[in-house]
Amino acid sequence: MIAGGGERRIAVHVCGSVAAYKACEVITTLRKAGCELRVVMTVNAQRFIGATSLQALSGHPVLTDVWQEGTEGHGMGHIELGAWAQVHVAVAASANLIARLAHGFADDAVTTVLLASRAPLVLAPAMETAMWEHPATRANVDALRARGVHVVGPVIGRLASGATGEGRMADVSAVVEETLARLGAA
């Protein structure tokens, strides 16, 4: 069993997008709101931001690999985390994560925990406009929405490339608000 957490237990999933650093503010804001957090990262997310930062901000070790040692309980950390979380939030959700979720993949820590959970999922996508507008991404997002996933943004704004268009991650406040709303509904 994963110890602790009370009634406001949230798993924050971080992907390999430029906006991954915004997970820091999401984590800090949710903790200030009294939530107990666990963080899961994709391998590529770790190219953008270090697990050490997210461990410090969340107050707990970060799950980056379902095979990693030191998971709490019986070594099935992904199952335990899937059951522990009342709400999941993926920030900033990459086109790749969206595709993998839409097709039911469980090929890394993030997708495995999410597939092993019945808790609601809030997705905050962030990507270049061409990726967001690609028919494959459109179909994947539609499939996830039809399954009850709560997609927040993206919004029109300045992108990492310097261009302006739809694909900028929604404001952290909007992501936090939706996550807390799902917690209230859980």
Q: Which residues bind ligand FMN (CB under 6 A)?
A: 15-19, 42, 44-45, 94-97, 126-127, 131, 160
Residue type, 44: N
Q: Long-range contacts of range 140-145, CB-CB < 8 Å, 24 or more positions apart?
A: 140/98, 140/99, 140/101, 140/102, 140/103, 141/98, 141/102, 143/102, 144/98, 144/101, 144/102
- CB of residue 94 to ligand FMN, shortest distance in Å: 3
Q: In this structure, are strands 121-125 and 87-93 parallel, antiparallel, or unpaired?
A: parallel
Q: In this structure, are strands 155-158 and 164-168 parallel, antiparallel, or unpaired?
A: antiparallel
Select 136 or 185, whichever has its Cβ closest to ligand FMN: 136
- CB of residue 42 to ligand FMN, shortest distance in Å: 3
- CB of residue 33 to ligand FMN, shortest distance in Å: 26
- CB of residue 160 to ligand FMN, shortest distance in Å: 6
Select 35 or 127, whichever has its Cβ closest to ligand FMN: 127
- CB of residue 138 to ligand FMN, shortest distance in Å: 14
Select 124 or 180, whichever has its Cβ closest to ligand FMN: 124
Select 16 or 120, whichever has its Cβ closest to ligand FMN: 16
* H helix runs in the chain, sequence order: 22-32, 51-58, 77-84, 95-102, 109-115, 129-133, 135-146, 172-185
Residue type, 135: P
Distance separating alpha carbons of residues 98 and 119, to the nearest angstrom: 17
- CB of residue 99 to ligand FMN, shortest distance in Å: 8
Do residues 23 and 91 make contact, with C-beta atoms less than 8 angstroms apart? yes
Q: How many of the other CB atoms lie within 10 Å of CB of 177?
A: 15
Select 15 or 102, whichever has its Cβ closest to ligand FMN: 15
Select 28 or 96, whichever has its Cβ closest to ligand FMN: 96
